[in-house]
Chains A and B, each alone.
Chain A
């Protein structure tokens, strides 16, 4: 979370703000400069704006990008199928992907369309954490797409070479999983409620 956003939140909530705004002016000028490295369209500037890596410092992002693999997919190319073994976590660097569920084995049909993910969104985090992961959905490139992937061996290497960075990344990935679990629990609760209502009506 940035300093500016923190202040804005305090203003919105009606909390008191500090008398003196202590913005590191040099950092601000550096980041605002058109010559700044962060403003160029690089993997570094890409990750500066990815929400998952909010807590990462500039140097940590720079190190993190060293462990990524850039993979290019043409439109309609299958990235992975439901039931495939999963080993990686992908960030959408360019383009968009479609996610399908309920894909049947040996069928040409991809299944039911679930959602379209755009630039800076991510998918496949379970593949990185689970010991023997099976992909829970089919992912297909909607257009020509570039993905940045991190895989199990990369995470192992990261934990070995930069343990703090590895632990931070694992924490962020666990947070994504926790959020998804929370969403799922809420959905299950609401479905249960609907089922109960239906039972009462019947």
Chain B
């Protein structure tokens, strides 16, 4: 290989690893950028509709986009407004819940004493409430930090979004130009495949979670269960996590059902709502939207989620799947290459 070509290759890999190192060393920049990138991927299909086609088509899609945004923002505002109301209701009911819990625990203690003659001396309810109060004050002490990160994100995310929507094409072209000829074809194809897989996965998960969250909210509203908007939102968000997400999503609802004193609340109805919503997700939404994008063995998915949670917490659990799908693709390519060379 020519000396200049070798230097170009070394320089390219140096820049690549330096960028990865920078991303790992400065999570305060990497995390908002990652968030902005996810938002960009969700809205990217719309931008191609708005920038291609004839003037009439573009005008049509732009009007459709504005209409869509207006219609989707209204329920979102309504949901947030109701979530706020749900939170206030929950705070107001906290002393009542505490009393209810203590009453139930007292009944349990009496039952144990009558049945087994054993007196329970521990008081887990007071302990739990004390811990919750401590947690609350700790959260309050963290508020200034959280607020400063929030304002940092408020500044950085729109800035990164602007870059991604308006400058990423130019930046991408420059990046592609820097790739040495000897590895260009493969790098470009793999990079495009990864981008496509990641984008499709994020959009599919976003749609899947929205559908599931809507179904849960509607179901809870139908049976008159308290806090339907918060619980629907939680079910939607936790559903992003594969396999374990739906299980985590039902826990707050079960807790609310256990803690409230309302005789109208039926555990069976609650279980049925979550079951139906998850069945719709498993039978219809997941096979149509996500499975084609991921195409991984369920055991690999579960192991990946555990590894992802160890490495990067909740974010790691979410992004590990498209990464594993990409590595599968990469290894397949390498294997094919090796099998030809043998």
**Interface residues in chain A, defined as those with a beta carbon under 8 Å from any beta carbon in chain B:** 69, 71, 73-74, 76-80, 83-88, 105, 132, 134, 151-153, 160-162
**Is B297 engaged at the interface, CB distance under 8 Å to the other chain?**
no
Expressed in whole angstroms, the Cα–Cα distance for A134 and B341 within the complex equals 11
Contact present for A151 and B193 (CB under 8 Å): no
- For the A-B complex with A153-B189, A153-B192 known, give 11 more contacts whose Cβ atoms are closer than 8 Å: A73-B181, A79-B181, A80-B185, A85-B333, A87-B185, A87-B186, A105-B341, A134-B340, A151-B185, A152-B189, A153-B196
Q: Mark B180-199, 1 if CB is under 8 A from A, else 0.
A: 01101110110011001000
**In the complex, which of the residues B181, B185, B336 contacts A132, with contact meaning CB atoms closer than 8 Å?**
B336
Which of B182, B184, B186, B189 lies in contact with A78, CB distance below 8 A?
B182
Contacts of B52 in A (CB 8 A): 161-162
Known: A88-B185, A161-B48. A69 touches B176 (CB 8 A): yes
Q: Cα distance A161–B4 when bound, in Å?
A: 38
A65 to B302, CA, bound (A): 44
Closest 7 CB pairs of A and B: A153-B192, A87-B189, A87-B185, A161-B52, A88-B185, A151-B188, A161-B48
**Cross-chain contact A83 with B341 (CB below 8 angstroms):** yes
Instruction: Using CB atoms and an 8 Å cutoff, list the residues of chain B in contact with chain A.
Output: 2, 4-5, 48, 52, 176, 181-182, 184-186, 188-189, 192-193, 196, 333, 336-337, 340-341
Which one of B5, B181, B188 lies within 8 Å of A153 (CB-CB)? B188
Complex Cα distance, B336 from A87, in Å, reads 14
| Nearest Cβ on chain A to B197's Cβ, whole angstroms | 12
CA distance A85 to B330 in the complex (A): 13
A/B interface sample: 24 pairs, CB < 8 A: A69-B184, A74-B5, A78-B182, A79-B181, A80-B185, A83-B341, A85-B333, A85-B336, A85-B337, A86-B185, A87-B185, A87-B186, A87-B188, A88-B185, A105-B341, A134-B340, A151-B185, A151-B192, A152-B189, A152-B192, A153-B189, A153-B192, A153-B196, A160-B48
CB distance from A11 to the nearest CB of B (A): 39
Residues in A whose Cβ lies below 8 Å from that of B48: 160-161
Residue in B2, B181, B186, B189 whose Cβ sees the most chain A Cβ within 10 Å: B181
Contact of B189 among A76, A151, A160 (CB under 8 A): A151
Q: Report the Cα distance A69→B191, complex, angstroms.
A: 15
Q: How many angstroms between the C-alpha atoms of A85 and B188 in the bound complex?
A: 13
Q: Which residues of A contact B176 (CB under 8 A)?
A: 69
Nearest CB on B from A138, distance (A): 13
Which A residues touch B336, using CB under 8 A?
Answer: 85, 132
Select from chain A the residue with minimum beta-carbon distance to B5: A77
Q: Give bound CA distance, A5 to B192, whole Å.
A: 42
Q: How far is the CB of A55 from chain B (nearest CB, A)?
A: 21
Please state if B188 and A74 are interface contacts (CB–CB under 8 Å): no
Residues on A with beta carbons closer than 8 Å to the beta carbon of B4: 74
Q: Identify the closest chain B residue to A83 (Cβ).
A: B340
Chain A residue with the shortest CB-CB distance to B182: A78
Name the B residues within 8 Å of A153 (CB-CB). Answer: 188-189, 192-193, 196
| B290 to A: closest C-beta gap in Å | 20
Q: In the docked arrangement, what's the CA distance between A80 and B52, Å?
A: 34
B333 touches A71 (CB 8 A): no
B266 CB to nearest chain A CB (Å):
48
**Contacts A83-B340, A85-B337, A153-B193 given; does A71 touch B184 at CB 8 Å:** yes
Q: How far is the CA of A132 from the CA of B336 in the complex (A)?
A: 9
- CB-nearest residue of chain A to B336: A132
Q: How far is the CA of A85 from the CA of B341 in the complex (A)?
A: 11
Given A83-B341, A132-B336, also A77-B2 (CB < 8 A): yes
Nearest-neighbor residue (CB-CB) of A71 within chain B = B181
Bound-complex Cα distance A132 to B333 (A)? 10
Q: Nearest B residue to A78 by beta-carbon distance?
A: B182
A80 to B183, CA, bound (A): 10
- B21 to chain A: closest CB distance in Å? 27
A71: chain B residues at CB < 8 Å are 181, 184
A77–B181 CB distance below 8 A: yes
Q: How far does the alpha carbon of A127 sit from the alpha carbon of B176 in the complex, in Å?
A: 19
